[in-house]
Amino acid sequence: MNLLNKHQEKMIKNSQIPSEFYKEYNVKKGLRDLEGKGVLAGLTNISAIHSFDEDGKQIPGILEYRAYNIKDIVDDLRREGRFGFEEVTYLLLFGELPTADDLKEFQDILAHKRILPEFFVRETILTNPSSDVMNSMSRCLLALASYDDKAEDISIENVLEQSLNLIANFPLLAIYTFQAYSHYRKEESLYIHYPDLTLSTAENILRMLRPDCQYTDTEAKVLDIALILHMEHGGGNNSTFTTHVVTSSGTDTYATIAAALSSLKGPKHGGANIKAAKMLENIKQNISNYHDEAEIEDYLYKILNKEAFDQQGLIYGIGHAIYTISDPRFEVFKSYVASLVKEKGMEEEFELYERVARLAPKVISDHRKTYKTISPNIDFYSGFVYKILGIPQELFTPLFAIARVVGWLTHRIEELINMNKIIRPAYESVLESKNYVKLEDR
C-alpha cells in the first residue's frame, strides 16, 4: 500500500494542469465560456434552449421540442386530460406532431414491444443483483444485444426498430432490476408485474412498481409530465453529447446507449435530484420552524459555507448552466406538483420547498457576490415528487434514463443521418519535450 501511495502521489503531481493555462491556451474548460454558456459543438433539429434574446439580454428560459414550446405541449395535454409520453416521443423521433391515427398506431406499437426475451428476467436480471440499478441496467442493455441478430446493423431502419424496443423496455429494465436488488439484498418480497398493453408508460411504471398495482390518475399524470420534461434537453448535455460522440465512431445502438447511461449516472448529471431530495430532508431535520424564513436562510448559509449537509458548499437544485431567470421545466412542473401535494395532504412540506426555492437564489448571490440571476431547476422538485409517489431513491436516476433514452436515441439517429466524420476535438499538450533517459542512467 505504501508503494501504491508513493506512485499515486507521482500520478497526481504529473497530471495536474495549472488553471491559468486554460486562459493562456484559450481553452474553454468544460466546453463553457466565462459566462457559463456552452461552446458550440454541433447543430441539431431536435430541441432548442433559450435563455438570452438577440441582444444578449437574459430572458425567462424557453425549451422547445422540434420547435414547439414545451409549455404549449404540456398545456394541451392538461386541457385534454390525456397522457403525453408516447405522443411527445413520436414528435421527437419523427419531427412532426402525430395525427390521432398516427398516435393510436404508435401507442399500439410501443405497447406490444413492452416484452423482454424469454427467460431474460430470470437468467439476466435476477442473477447478480446490484444495489446500483444504473449499473444493472447497463449490464442488461448490453445483454440484450446478444438477442438481436442485427445488433451491429446501423441502418436507419434497423436503428429505429432498436430504438422503439429500448424505449418500450427501459421501464421494465429499471423496475425489474430494482426489484431483484430489493429481494436478494434487502430481503423484501419479490413480485414481477408484467405491463398492461392498454396503459400508458407512466401508468405501467406505477403499476409494475407497486405490490398492489394501484395508483391514482393524478399520480400517473404527474409522473407522465415528469418523463416528458426530462425527455430531451439539447445535444450538449453530458449524456446526449456522449451519444453523439459514441455514435460518430460507428458503433452499435446498445453500446451507445450504455455509454449514455454511464454518463447520466454521475451525480453532476442525472443524480442531482437525489442530492436535492436528501438536502431538503436535511433542512427539515435541522430547522425548528418551517415558516421562519430567517432560520431557513441561516441554514442555507451554513450549507454554502460547508458547515452543514454534505460539506460540499452546494445548494442542490438551484442554478443551471444555461437557464438564468427561470428553468421552464421547473415552472411547468410546479403546477403539477401542487395538485399532487393537495391530493396527498403534504401542503406544509411543499410550502417549505417553495420558501427554499425563493430564498436560496438570494443566499447564493449574496454568498458569491455575483449579480447573475439564479433560479431553481427541475431537479429541485423531481426528487420531492418521486418521494411523494413512493418511488425509492434507487430509482430516481433510472426514471431520468427512462425519459432521456428517447432524446438519446433521437440524437443517435440524427447523428447517423448526418454523420461523415468521427467527433474528435483537440487537446493541447502543455509539456515541453524531454530527452529520453536510459534505464541504467535513472
Residues identified as active-site: 320, 379
∠ CA 249-254-260, rounded to 5°: 75
What letter would DSSP give residue 121?
Answer: I
Q: Where are the extended beta strands (E) located within 339-410? A: none
Provide the CB-side half-sphere exposure for 186 (13 A, CA). Answer: 14
What's the CA gap between 210 and 183, in Å, rounded?
14
- Read off the C-alpha cell for 241: 453529447
The edge-to-edge listing of strands for the beta sheet with 58-65 is 47-52, 58-65, 68-69
What's the CA gap between 36 and 56, in Å, rounded?
13
- Read off the C-alpha cell for 424: 474528435
What's the CA gap between 6 and 59, in Å, rounded?
52
Chain centroid, CA 387 distance in Å: 17
Residue 429: phi, psi to the nearest 5?
-75, 135
Measuring CA to CA, how many Å separate 125 from each of 75, 84, 410, 423? 38, 29, 27, 34
What's the CA gap between 238 and 265, in Å, rounded?
11
Residue with cell 415528469: 226
- Secondary-structure breakdown of the chain: helix, strand, coil percentages, each rounded to the nearest 5: 60, 5, 35
Q: Give the contacts of 308 (CB within 8 A, at least 6 positions apart).
A: 282, 286, 299, 302
* Residue 376, beta-bridge partner list: 318
